[in-house]
Chain A
C-alpha cells in the first residue's frame, strides 16, 4: 500500500532563511506526489505536483520539490522564508488508480521575524 511520512511535525525558521520540509513516500508503483498548504482558517491549496516528468518541480510562491526515487523522498524547499509562509504543509501521494489522495500527517511551519 502507498503511504507518505512527513519527518517533522513542526519546523521553525527565521524570515529570509531557507525552508526544508521533509517527506518520504512508499509506493509499489510510480506515484504522483503533491504538496498542499493550509493556511489558518483557509482552504487547502495545491503548491506543486510531480507526475513522472521533470524530477525538480517548481510550484507557487517560490517553493520547489525534488523527486528522488533512490531515496523515496519528495522534500519541499524554499530559498528564503516569508512571514506569509507560516502554515500547515501536507505531503500527498495518489493511489494507484490516481483517483484518491493519501495525506501525510502534516508539518507546521513557523516563521519568525
Chain B
C-alpha cells in the first residue's frame, strides 16, 4: 500500500476565495485522482491528475473551477476556485499503480472544506 497525506486536513473559507489542497504520496505512483464527497453523499470523481499534462476532467467538472497540477509522480494539487457554499465537501485524493496492486486505489485522509 501507499501512505498518502493531504494538506490542509480541514479549512473554513469565505465565498469567492480559492483554496489549494495538496496530496503527497510516499512512493512514486502512476495514477492520481481527485474525488469530492458532499455532505451525506457518496464519492464523485472530479478528475485524473496526469503527470506532465493537463488533467482529465469528468462530466460536470471544469478546469477553471478545479485547476489541478501534477508536477511529479508523488505530488498533486487541487484548487477549488471562486468558492461558494455548494463547494463545501470533503475532497480526497487517491493513487494507483507503480508498485501498488493493479486496480486498487488507495485514498488519502481527505480535506474537509466548509465555505461560508
Chain A positions within 8 Å of B, measured between CB atoms, are: 32, 34, 36, 42-46, 49, 51, 90, 94, 98-106
- A contact residues around B33 at 8 Å (CB): 100-101
Interface residues of chain B, those whose CB is within 8 Å of chain A, are 31, 33, 41-45, 48, 58, 92, 94, 96, 102-110
Which residue of A42, A51, A103, A104 is within 8 Å of B103 (Cβ)? A51
Q: How many A-B residue pairs have CB under 8 A?
A: 46
Question: Across the interface, do A90 and B42 meet the contact criterion of CB distance under 8 Å?
Answer: yes
In whole Å, how far is A3's beta carbon from the nearest beta carbon of chain B? 12
By beta carbon, the residue of chain A nearest B97 is A99
When A43-B110, A44-B92 are in contact, do A101 and B105 touch as well, CB less than 8 Å?
A: yes
Cβ of A101 and Cβ of B106 under 8 Å apart? Answer: no
Asked whether, in the complex, the Cβ of A46 is within 8 Å of the Cβ of B106, the reply is yes
User: With A and B bound together, what is the CA distance between A94 and B103 in angstroms?
Assistant: 8
Q: Which of chain B's residues have a CB closer than 8 A to the CB of A104?
A: 42
In whole angstroms, how far apart are the Cα atoms of A100 and B35 in the complex?
A: 10
- What CA separation (Å) do A109 and B48 show in the bound complex? 30
Which residues of the other chain, A, contact B42 by a CB distance below 8 angstroms? 90, 103-106
Q: Shortest beta-carbon distance, A89 to chain B, in Å? A: 11
In the complex, are the beta carbons of B108 and A43 less than 8 A apart? yes
How far apart sit A30 and B43, CA to CA, in the bound complex (Å)? 22
